[in-house]
Amino acid sequence: MGMPVKLSDELVTLARAEAAAANRSTSAQVEHWARVGRAAERLLQHADTLALKGELPLAEAFPEPGNRAAVVAALEGIARSSDREAARERAARGRRPVYGSDPRFPGLVVRIDPDGTRIPGRFDNP
């Protein structure tokens, strides 16, 4: 069951703009961000989360050598980049399909393969 929640005007404005681009409702966009954030929190240490929120410099959040340096470099690149296409290309190199919506296929889920192929469909209950 849904529950009313107070959100800042700034967050609602950002969610509304992003929702329009992603063909979602504002509520669905906020829920999407919440699910992504929840998943990220499970994988990150507290300092990592603070760094992503801009509350702690990345160098302090990731002091250990090794793989963390690569993560820091990737996160800094993403944080500096306003180019969504570059982010899509980086995600595509992960070799996994992603699922989303496409205004050309209303009401359907779209599978987006790493090569950019879009396959509309729907989930059926077995």
What's the pLDDT tens digit per position in 68-89? 666 667 667 666 666 666 666 6
Q: What is the pLDDT of residue 124?
A: 74
State yes or no: pLDDT of 58 exceeds 60: no
Mean pLDDT estimate for the chain: 75
pLDDT surpasses 80 at 31 = yes
Interhelix angle 84-92/67-80, rounded to 10 degrees, is 150
- pLDDT recorded at residue 112: 82
Q: Quick one: the chain helix, strand, coil %, rounded to 5?
A: 50, 10, 40
Cβ proximity of 47 and 61 under 8 Å: yes
Q: For residues 61 and 50, is the Cβ–Cβ distance under 8 A? A: yes
pLDDT in the model for residue 13: 92
Longest Cα separation, the chain: 49
C-beta separation of 32 from 18 below 8 A: no
